[in-house]
Amino acid sequence: MTMRNVLKDIPLEELINNAQKGDETAQNYLLKTYQPFIAKCVSEVCKRYIDPERDDEFSIGLSAFNEAIRMFSADKGSSFLTFANLVIKRKVIDYIRYNNKYPTAISLDESYDEESMENPTEIEAVKDIYQKEQEAWYRKEEIIEFKNKLSTYKLTLSELVEVAPKHRDARDTAVRIARLIRDDAALSSYVEQKKKLPIKELTRQVEVSKKTLERNRKFILAIFIVLGEDYVFLQDYLKGVGQ
């Protein structure tokens, strides 16, 4: 059995973890195996077919995928591929923007030169700044995706601000109901297809009045959406709520 066949049977998360610990075989396997995924992510940004052999954008995407391997943390709650997708697109967008402004191609590896920084405090400061910039960008991308998803339910962020329950107990109850729906295949399918709550069925399963359900309908739907997506930062807000 070849090494490739052996690695094929190892879960993705385990391969990522091994690569982060310095396993070059696992890292090279990931970079090779996921080239079609990388090309797809890059093509979504460039709006055209990407040739891995000829297009510079693919090299940027490959480098970004490698960076995603190093940076990924399962504790955030997102799948690796969702995370890698964001990293790749951000790098390619930066590359395109830079080249539109400057004719000379450059590398977008936003790393730092530790050798030029003798002070460990400076190194940590740069790492911290970079991490914060990355997280700010990911958070912004999540919000954009969340807004787009809300629109399919005819909801907006501004509406959520207005209708969100003011009291903690009410919010916890709404989140608990959203979790119940998401965990029930039939209820979840109903909401995804109809884009509305199964009010009648919920009144049978939860000790909440029909009036309360209807009043918190938009908020419950929004939480239902968050629970069903790989929203790293938005799901952080829900940890321990409504459980």
Q: Are residues 108 and 161 in the same domain?
A: no
Query: Is the model's pLDDT at 132 over the cut of 60?
Result: yes
- The answer to whether residue 166 is domain-embedded is yes
Q: Are residues 53 and 108 in the same domain?
A: yes
Q: What is the pLDDT of residues 152-182, one digit of tens each?
A: 999 999 988 888 888 889 889 999 999 999 9
Q: What is the pTM of this model?
A: 0.51
By C-alpha distance, which of 78, 80, 110, 69 is closest to 93? 110
Q: What is the pLDDT of residues 82-122, one digit of tens each?
A: 888 888 988 998 888 877 644 333 333 443 343 444 445 54
User: What CA–CA distance (Å, rounded) separates 132 from 121?
Assistant: 16
- The answer to whether residue 142 is domain-embedded is no
Q: Which of 5-19, 68-82, 124-138, 150-164 has the lowest mean pLDDT?
A: 124-138
- By the 8 A CB rule, do 6 and 59 touch? no
Structural domain that includes position 95: 34-112
Q: Which of 48-57, 102-111, 131-140, 179-188 has the lowest mean pLDDT?
A: 102-111
Residue type, 94: D
User: What CA–CA distance (Å, rounded) separates 192 from 133?
Assistant: 34
Domain count, the chain: 2
Of the residues 112, 130, 145, the one at which a domain ends: 112
- The answer to whether residue 224 is domain-embedded is yes
Q: Are residues 94 and 165 in the same domain?
A: no
User: What CA–CA distance (Å, rounded) separates 126 from 121?
Assistant: 9
